[in-house]
Structure formats: C-alpha cells, structure tokens
Chain A
Amino acid sequence: QSVLTQPPSVSGAPGQRVTISCTGSSSNIGADSDVHWYQHLPGTAPKLLIYGDNNRPSGVPDRFSGSKSGTSASLAITGLQAEDEADYYCQSYDSSLNVFWVFGGGTKLTVL
C-alpha cells in the first residue's frame, strides 16, 4: 500500500487530454511538501517530468503540466501521443514516517 495514491490506469485517444491524480495526506502533500512526477518505461531509466509541483526540466514538452491543491496533486498531459504510453509516478516527502521520500503506486497510461 503506497503512501501516495494514484489510479492504476488511465487511457485516452491521440490528441486528447488526460489527468493523473496523486492523493496524499497532511504529513506529505498537505504539509506543503513538493510533488514531483516521473515517466517510466519498464527496462529503461525513469525520467523526471515535473519537479517542484509545476516546473518542467529542460527538454520536457509543455504538453506536460503539474498542479497541487490541499492534499492532492495532478499531472496533466495534453495532445496525447503514442510515445506517451508509459507508467507515471508521483513522489513527495513524508514527515511522519521514517520513510522520507515516498512514491505513488504508479499509473499506467494507455494511448488508445
């Protein structure tokens, strides 16, 4: 059971917009800890997509955006492309457990 909760799967057609939620608690996202997002294709290196809630590293398309409110955060992907099909993970810091950095369970994005 992950500290941060994500839907197991989402899907969308090419060109559409999808969002992936990440729900935490008052000891992580609700404590104003930053939320970060990663894209991962099994067998490859995970890639940083969003850091500090809503910042994109150089090279990440502006089709990817992040937001945070209360104890939840979201990743939005617009103009879906086939290459976006991957697993997506949120990550934050938890102050209540001796775990420090925590990940969501991951969301599999399928491009129909």
Chain B
Amino acid sequence: EVQLLESGGGLVQPGESLRLSCVASGYTFNRHGMTWVRQAPGKGLEWVSTISDTGSTFYADSVKGRFTISRDNSKNTLYLQMDSLRAGDTAEYHCAKGRGGFSDGYFDLWGRGTLVTVSS
C-alpha cells in the first residue's frame, strides 16, 4: 500500500527539541522530493520545509535556522529535527510526497500527521 506514516510528535516546553519521522512505503522513495507541511489549531496549511531527491533543502523563514530536514533513503524515511521550539510551532505536522519542480510543484501523497504541542 502506498502511504506515509509520521511519528515523533508530543508535548514539549519552549526551547526544547523534537525529531519527527515519516516512513514511506509503496513507491520508490529516493526518486521524489519530500516536504513537511503544518497546520496550527484553527489555521490553514503552511509549507515548512522541502528536501529534493538530490538532497537540496528549502525552509520557510519562520523555521530557518531552527529546523533541519533530512532523509535516509536506505530506510525510506524523512526527518524533521526541530530545535528551539516556540509556542507558535504548535501544529499538526504532515509529511508529503512531491511531484514536479518549483513553479509546477505539488504534493500527491500525504500522511495523517503527528501533533506537536509546545507549551510550558
């Protein structure tokens, strides 16, 4: 079955770290870029970070310098290392499989998400 499964979310205090994982199955993982998208409570979808099939990385300004995206193609797994977490990072985090390039890029497979709560 073609699917993405996220894990690693939880409750942390401001300033702490968390690492999210996303395991892919049912397709050739190393042929596609991968992306993290988040949804804060009561808000819409927000692009967070993307890693291309060749390892190039891109970040939203809101997380640049604090989050690190990476992938392990041998394990079909995508990661998001989140440091210096803030209350504003509280959200459901979805991983998504990318298609296309920049101006035509979209996400054709998504995971159900993992919830990250940053609170003291």
| A interface residues (Cβ-Cβ under 8 A, vs B) | 2, 31-34, 36, 38, 40, 43-48, 51-52, 57, 89, 91, 93, 95, 98-106
Contacts and interface: CB of A to CB of B under 8 A. Distances in A.
In which size bucket is the chain B interface?
A: 20 to 34
A40 B39 CA distance: 11
B50 A100 contact: yes
Interface string B62-103: 000000000000000000000000000000001010011011
Interface of B: 4, 35, 37, 43-47, 50, 58, 60-61, 94, 96, 99-100, 102-113
A43 to B, nearest CB: 7
A94 to B, nearest CB: 10
Q: Classify the interface of chain B: helix, strand, loop or mixed.
A: strand
B106 A99 contact: no
B100 A46 contact: no
